[in-house]
Amino acid sequence: MSETQHNSQQTTELAPFSDRLLAHLRFVRQHSQYYRELWQDAWPDASQPIALADLPVVDSKAFWEANLFEHNRVLTADLAETVVFKSGGTTGNPKYSYFSYDDWQAFCQVFGDGLKRAGMRKDERVANLFYGGQLYASFMFIARSMEEAGVGVQFPVSGLASEEEIFNTIEFFKIETLAVVPTTMMKLLPAFAKMPPEKRIIKRVIYGGEPMQPDQVAAVQAVLPGCRVESIGVAGVDYGELGFVDQSCERGVHRLYDGHTQVELLDDDLQPIEATGQAGFLYMTNLNRRLMPVVRYPVGDRAEWLDEPGTPARRFRLLGRSQEVARIGPVSVYIEDIQKILDEAALPQQVINFQVVVDHADRKDGGCLRLAVAEPEGMTHEQGLQVRDEFYRQRTLYPSLVGQNLLRPLEVEWIGLEAMHTNPRTGKLLRVVDRRAESNA
């Protein structure tokens, strides 16, 4: 981190949140070319104060086009004392997130405090089964967050370890808690079921990386009676810390990290939603992200407020993914990448439009790519398989999980334009239709 960044962070640390927010916005405007250009009309004079709501929201596509490794226009400084992670996208369109060491420490410290508030004990024996390597953040992130919080006795096993090694570690060290991606937990469940009851010693599963559906929770608790299944918290390597859980939070409900983030819920017209029970899209401003600023950034999730405005650590309920990215199990499918897949598939008819439908059945997520063409009856099953094969080639994790019986195979449906799902209020096309809540109703 540059001296300018460090000093700015230090001098604003104890200021009231509104003053810190304005100081942060001024810093971002001065040092990030992308934000300076984005805000030039809304905030031409940096000496004047600005309300966050008066600044334009970030367009995800434009943000990532500016946030390239070479000629980066988002970052506020050159790379030094930095950790770099992969944030998603296809192999042909990777996205990378950058943290200065100070930013990374702050991220893990705040999230770690959430683990503590969720009740993690200092002596709790936790096997970290998240994934590491290949520029993925989750394994390192959970390990560092526990260290920063001073909780847990940590066993960094990793989700890439063999089942034999995982179970030997659990038995030898008498581990009571698994920190794990739901898909990995489902993969381990048959082996747990074969154990004698006295060896099923896991008392708590804390999951992250994807939602855990009711049938998956029920399956875990059937094999591990009395086991608590809880969210580890919500965070993203692109936007940062979003929510933690406490005893008041049922499944899918989290609390905000007051003093570190400004989270907005906006409707289709980008107007603020403050009332409880009304669905909208989450946008994040993170005061701890200095190297790669995140200001009014689309998180990619829909949510609703459960508490009134001004409630400390205000609770929100996640309602599935928004229109920018579909999350099928642990696989992120960016809408902008679908067109590239269709181009590579070389179809005989032009695809006029498309959408991704995500559902859940038999304890597994599945996806359907609905493709609108002029004459759907003229498209064959084989051409659908051609699209699926190209999808699998570009998103290799998906077929790998299908092969392990952890995801259902991708479906391809040829439809007319009139059959596409739209927003009943606005008539706008729904790029992502998340039916998992309906599947588990």
pLDDT top residue among 339 and 55: 55
Give the structural domain span for 379.
325-439
Whether 158 and 221 map to the same domain: the answer is: yes
Q: Is residue 176 a contact partner of residue 203, using CB atoms and an 8 Å limit?
A: yes
Whether 138 and 205 map to the same domain: the answer is: yes
Question: Quick check: is 112 in a domain?
Answer: no
Q: With 0-12 CB in 10 A as exposed, 13-18 as middle and 19+ as buried, what is 421? A: middle
Whether 379 and 416 map to the same domain: the answer is: yes
pTM comes to 0.80
Question: Quick check: is 113 in a domain?
Answer: no
Which of 293-302, 313-322, 339-348 is modeled with the greatest confidence?
293-302
Average pLDDT over residues 328-351: 84
Confidence of residue 374 (pLDDT cuts 50, 70, 90): confident
Given a cut of 50, whether residue 9 has pLDDT beyond it is no
Q: Is residue 223 a contact partner of residue 199, using CB atoms and an 8 Å limit?
A: no
From first CA to last CA, the distance across the chain in angstroms is: 48
Confidence of residue 46 (pLDDT cuts 50, 70, 90): very high
In the block, residue with structure tokens 């597994």: 364
Question: Quick check: is 99 in a domain?
Answer: yes
Contacts of 213 by beta carbon, 8 Å cutoff, 6+ apart: 182, 360, 363, 365, 436, 439, 440
The whole-angstrom separation of Cα 358 and Cα 291 is 34
Contacts of 7 by beta carbon, 8 Å cutoff, 6+ apart: none
Q: Is residue 205 a contact partner of residue 228, using CB atoms and an 8 Å limit?
A: yes
Domains of the chain: total = 3
CATH number of the domain within which 297 lies: 3.40.50.12780
Q: Look at residue 440 in the predicted model and tell me its pLDDT.
A: 58
Whether 274 and 210 map to the same domain: the answer is: no
Question: Quick check: is 296 in a domain?
Answer: yes
Whether 334 and 404 map to the same domain: the answer is: yes
Whether 256 and 359 map to the same domain: the answer is: no
Residues in the chain: 441
The first and second tokens of residue 232, run together, are 């580890």
CATH number of the domain within which 217 lies: 3.40.50.980
Longest dimension (CA), the chain: 69
The whole-angstrom separation of Cα 53 and Cα 268 is 15
Q: Is residue 64 a contact partner of residue 332, using CB atoms and an 8 Å limit?
A: no
Q: What is the pLDDT of residues 105-150, one digit of tens each?
A: 999 999 999 999 999 999 999 999 999 888 999 999 999 999 999 9
The first and second tokens of residue 368, run together, are 């359907």
Q: Look at residue 323 in the predicted model and tell me its pLDDT.
A: 66
Question: Quick check: is 58 in a domain?
Answer: yes
Whether 299 and 358 map to the same domain: the answer is: no
Q: Report DSSP letters for 339-381, one per residue.
A: HHHHHHH--SS---EEEEEEEEETTEEEEEEEEE-S-GGG--H
The first and second tokens of residue 6, run together, are 């460090």
Question: Quick check: is 110 in a domain?
Answer: no
Whether 222 and 125 map to the same domain: the answer is: yes
Question: Quick check: is 364 in a domain?
Answer: yes
- Of 260, 293, 321, the last residue of a domain is 321
Q: What is the pLDDT of residues 259-289, one digit of tens each?
A: 999 999 999 889 999 999 999 999 999 999 9
Question: Quick check: is 114 in a domain?
Answer: no
Q: Is residue 331 a contact partner of residue 395, using CB atoms and an 8 Å limit?
A: yes
The whole-angstrom separation of Cα 159 and Cα 129 is 4
In the block, residue with structure tokens 């810093």: 27
Rg of the chain on CA atoms, in Å: 22
Q: Look at residue 196 in the predicted model and tell me its pLDDT.
A: 93
CATH number of the domain within which 415 lies: 3.30.300.30
